[in-house]
Amino acid sequence: MTWKKALPELCTSGVSDAARYFFLLFWFFGPALAGLYCAVKVGGTTGAVLCGAGATAVGYFAAPIIGAFGTIMATAVGFAGWLVVTVIILIKNGRVLKENPFSTLWLLAGIGASVSLMTWRIYSPQIKKDKAVYAKWKKEQEQNGDPLAEQKQRAAMLMQARVENYSAQAADEYGEEEIPEEVREAA
Protein backbone atom coordinates (compact mmCIF):
# COMPACT_ATOMS: atom_id res chain seq x y z
CA MET A 1 0.00 0.00 0.00
CA THR A 2 1.21 3.48 -0.88
CA TRP A 3 -0.20 6.95 -0.32
CA LYS A 4 -0.94 7.11 -4.03
CA LYS A 5 -3.14 4.01 -3.77
CA ALA A 6 -4.81 5.42 -0.64
CA LEU A 7 -5.58 8.74 -2.35
CA PRO A 8 -9.16 7.86 -3.47
CA GLU A 9 -10.15 6.98 0.10
CA LEU A 10 -8.45 10.10 1.45
CA CYS A 11 -10.20 12.33 -1.11
CA THR A 12 -13.57 10.71 -0.44
CA SER A 13 -13.13 11.17 3.29
CA GLY A 14 -12.00 14.79 2.78
CA VAL A 15 -15.11 15.60 0.74
CA SER A 16 -17.27 13.88 3.35
CA ASP A 17 -15.68 15.90 6.15
CA ALA A 18 -16.03 19.15 4.21
CA ALA A 19 -19.74 18.51 3.63
CA ARG A 20 -20.18 17.56 7.28
CA TYR A 21 -18.52 20.75 8.53
CA PHE A 22 -20.49 22.81 6.03
CA PHE A 23 -23.70 21.51 7.60
CA LEU A 24 -22.36 21.95 11.13
CA LEU A 25 -21.97 25.64 10.30
CA PHE A 26 -25.21 25.78 8.34
CA TRP A 27 -26.59 28.37 10.77
CA PHE A 28 -24.06 30.70 9.11
CA PHE A 29 -23.68 29.29 5.59
CA GLY A 30 -27.41 28.75 4.99
CA PRO A 31 -28.51 32.40 5.25
CA ALA A 32 -25.27 33.57 3.62
CA LEU A 33 -25.83 31.35 0.57
CA ALA A 34 -29.49 32.38 0.41
CA GLY A 35 -28.46 36.06 0.49
CA LEU A 36 -25.84 35.49 -2.18
CA TYR A 37 -28.30 33.65 -4.39
CA CYS A 38 -30.86 36.43 -3.96
CA ALA A 39 -28.28 39.13 -4.73
CA VAL A 40 -27.20 37.37 -7.93
CA LYS A 41 -30.79 36.92 -9.12
CA VAL A 42 -31.99 40.43 -8.23
CA GLY A 43 -28.79 42.24 -9.22
CA GLY A 44 -27.74 45.81 -8.53
CA THR A 45 -26.40 47.42 -5.39
CA THR A 46 -29.82 48.07 -3.83
CA GLY A 47 -30.91 44.49 -4.47
CA ALA A 48 -27.71 43.15 -2.92
CA VAL A 49 -28.21 45.30 0.19
CA LEU A 50 -31.86 44.25 0.54
CA CYS A 51 -31.00 40.57 0.00
CA GLY A 52 -28.20 40.80 2.55
CA ALA A 53 -30.53 42.41 5.09
CA GLY A 54 -33.22 39.81 4.41
CA ALA A 55 -30.72 36.94 4.78
CA THR A 56 -29.49 38.42 8.06
CA ALA A 57 -33.02 38.71 9.39
CA VAL A 58 -33.90 35.16 8.33
CA GLY A 59 -30.66 33.91 9.89
CA TYR A 60 -31.41 35.68 13.15
CA PHE A 61 -35.05 34.64 13.53
CA ALA A 62 -34.73 31.14 12.05
CA ALA A 63 -31.41 30.27 13.71
CA PRO A 64 -32.84 27.46 15.88
CA ILE A 65 -34.54 25.79 12.92
CA ILE A 66 -31.54 26.28 10.60
CA GLY A 67 -29.17 25.04 13.31
CA ALA A 68 -31.27 21.93 13.94
CA PHE A 69 -31.46 21.21 10.21
CA GLY A 70 -27.69 21.67 9.89
CA THR A 71 -27.01 19.33 12.80
CA ILE A 72 -29.26 16.61 11.41
CA MET A 73 -27.73 16.94 7.94
CA ALA A 74 -24.19 16.97 9.35
CA THR A 75 -24.91 13.73 11.19
CA ALA A 76 -26.45 12.13 8.11
CA VAL A 77 -23.68 13.27 5.74
CA GLY A 78 -20.97 12.28 8.23
CA PHE A 79 -22.43 8.81 8.71
CA ALA A 80 -22.90 8.30 4.96
CA GLY A 81 -19.31 9.39 4.31
CA TRP A 82 -18.01 7.10 7.05
CA LEU A 83 -20.02 4.21 5.63
CA VAL A 84 -18.77 4.78 2.07
CA VAL A 85 -15.12 5.08 3.12
CA THR A 86 -15.39 2.03 5.40
CA VAL A 87 -16.88 -0.10 2.64
CA ILE A 88 -14.17 1.04 0.21
CA ILE A 89 -11.46 0.20 2.75
CA LEU A 90 -12.94 -3.21 3.46
CA ILE A 91 -13.33 -4.06 -0.23
CA LYS A 92 -9.98 -2.73 -1.42
CA ASN A 93 -7.82 -3.47 1.59
CA GLY A 94 -9.50 -5.61 4.23
CA ARG A 95 -6.17 -6.91 5.49
CA VAL A 96 -5.49 -3.57 7.17
CA LEU A 97 -7.95 -4.48 9.93
CA LYS A 98 -6.37 -7.91 10.43
CA GLU A 99 -2.77 -6.71 10.59
CA ASN A 100 -3.25 -3.74 12.91
CA PRO A 101 -5.61 -4.13 15.89
CA PHE A 102 -5.84 -0.35 16.38
CA SER A 103 -7.31 0.07 12.91
CA THR A 104 -10.63 -1.31 14.14
CA LEU A 105 -10.64 1.26 16.95
CA TRP A 106 -9.89 4.06 14.50
CA LEU A 107 -12.61 2.74 12.22
CA LEU A 108 -15.15 2.96 15.02
CA ALA A 109 -13.85 6.35 16.15
CA GLY A 110 -14.39 7.66 12.63
CA ILE A 111 -18.16 7.56 13.16
CA GLY A 112 -18.05 10.46 15.60
CA ALA A 113 -14.76 12.07 14.64
CA SER A 114 -13.21 13.08 11.36
CA VAL A 115 -13.40 10.50 8.59
CA SER A 116 -10.20 11.93 7.10
CA LEU A 117 -8.34 11.42 10.36
CA MET A 118 -9.71 7.88 10.57
CA THR A 119 -8.54 7.05 7.05
CA TRP A 120 -5.11 8.55 7.62
CA ARG A 121 -4.65 6.71 10.95
CA ILE A 122 -5.72 3.40 9.39
CA TYR A 123 -3.42 3.63 6.37
CA SER A 124 -0.39 5.27 7.94
CA PRO A 125 0.93 2.22 9.87
CA GLN A 126 0.19 -0.11 6.99
CA ILE A 127 2.06 2.07 4.50
CA LYS A 128 5.08 2.23 6.82
CA LYS A 129 5.00 -1.54 7.25
CA ASP A 130 4.59 -2.18 3.50
CA LYS A 131 7.50 0.17 2.71
CA ALA A 132 9.72 -1.77 5.11
CA VAL A 133 8.65 -5.11 3.59
CA TYR A 134 9.26 -3.77 0.08
CA ALA A 135 12.72 -2.45 1.04
CA LYS A 136 13.60 -5.86 2.52
CA TRP A 137 12.35 -7.66 -0.60
CA LYS A 138 14.28 -5.30 -2.87
CA LYS A 139 17.47 -5.85 -0.86
CA GLU A 140 17.03 -9.63 -1.11
CA GLN A 141 16.50 -9.34 -4.87
CA GLU A 142 19.70 -7.37 -5.23
CA GLN A 143 21.63 -9.95 -3.21
CA ASN A 144 20.16 -13.03 -4.91
CA GLY A 145 20.13 -11.62 -8.41
CA ASP A 146 17.10 -11.13 -10.56
CA PRO A 147 15.28 -14.48 -10.99
CA LEU A 148 13.16 -12.97 -13.75
CA ALA A 149 16.27 -12.13 -15.79
CA GLU A 150 17.51 -15.72 -15.37
CA GLN A 151 14.12 -17.02 -16.50
CA LYS A 152 14.19 -14.77 -19.56
CA GLN A 153 17.69 -15.93 -20.41
CA ARG A 154 16.65 -19.59 -20.14
CA ALA A 155 13.62 -18.94 -22.37
CA ALA A 156 15.83 -17.22 -24.98
CA MET A 157 18.27 -20.13 -24.94
CA LEU A 158 15.40 -22.61 -25.36
CA MET A 159 14.01 -20.65 -28.31
CA GLN A 160 17.46 -20.51 -29.90
CA ALA A 161 17.84 -24.28 -29.49
CA ARG A 162 14.43 -24.86 -31.05
CA VAL A 163 15.26 -22.62 -34.01
CA GLU A 164 18.55 -24.46 -34.56
CA ASN A 165 16.80 -27.83 -34.28
CA TYR A 166 14.10 -26.75 -36.74
CA SER A 167 16.72 -25.44 -39.18
CA ALA A 168 18.69 -28.70 -38.93
CA GLN A 169 15.56 -30.76 -39.58
CA ALA A 170 14.67 -28.64 -42.59
CA ALA A 171 18.20 -28.94 -43.97
CA ASP A 172 18.11 -32.73 -43.56
CA GLU A 173 14.71 -32.98 -45.19
CA TYR A 174 15.18 -30.61 -48.14
CA GLY A 175 18.92 -30.42 -48.51
CA GLU A 176 20.89 -27.20 -48.28
CA GLU A 177 19.85 -25.85 -51.66
CA GLU A 178 16.18 -26.85 -51.63
CA ILE A 179 14.98 -25.21 -48.38
CA PRO A 180 11.71 -23.42 -49.21
CA GLU A 181 11.49 -19.72 -48.43
CA GLU A 182 8.69 -20.13 -45.82
CA VAL A 183 10.84 -22.62 -43.87
CA ARG A 184 13.76 -20.16 -43.87
CA GLU A 185 11.49 -17.38 -42.62
CA ALA A 186 10.07 -19.61 -39.87
CA ALA A 187 13.59 -20.43 -38.68
pLDDT for the residue numbered 137: 84
Query: How far apart (Å, rounded) are the C-alpha atoms in residues 168 and 187?
Result: 10
- Name which of 40, 33, 39 is nearest 70 in CA terms: 33
pLDDT on residue 142:
78
Q: What is the mean pLDDT of residues 86-106?
A: 86
Q: How far, in Å, CA of 132 to CA of 103, rounded?
A: 19
d(CA 35, CA 48): 8
> Residue 28, SS3?
helix
* Averaged pLDDT for residues 38-51: 89
- Residue 112 contacts residue 79 (beta carbons within 8 Å): no
For 54-73, the pLDDT digits (tens) are 999 988 999 899 999 999 99
pLDDT of residue 77: 93
Of the listed ranges 35-49, 65-79, 86-100, 171-185, the one predicted with least confidence: 171-185
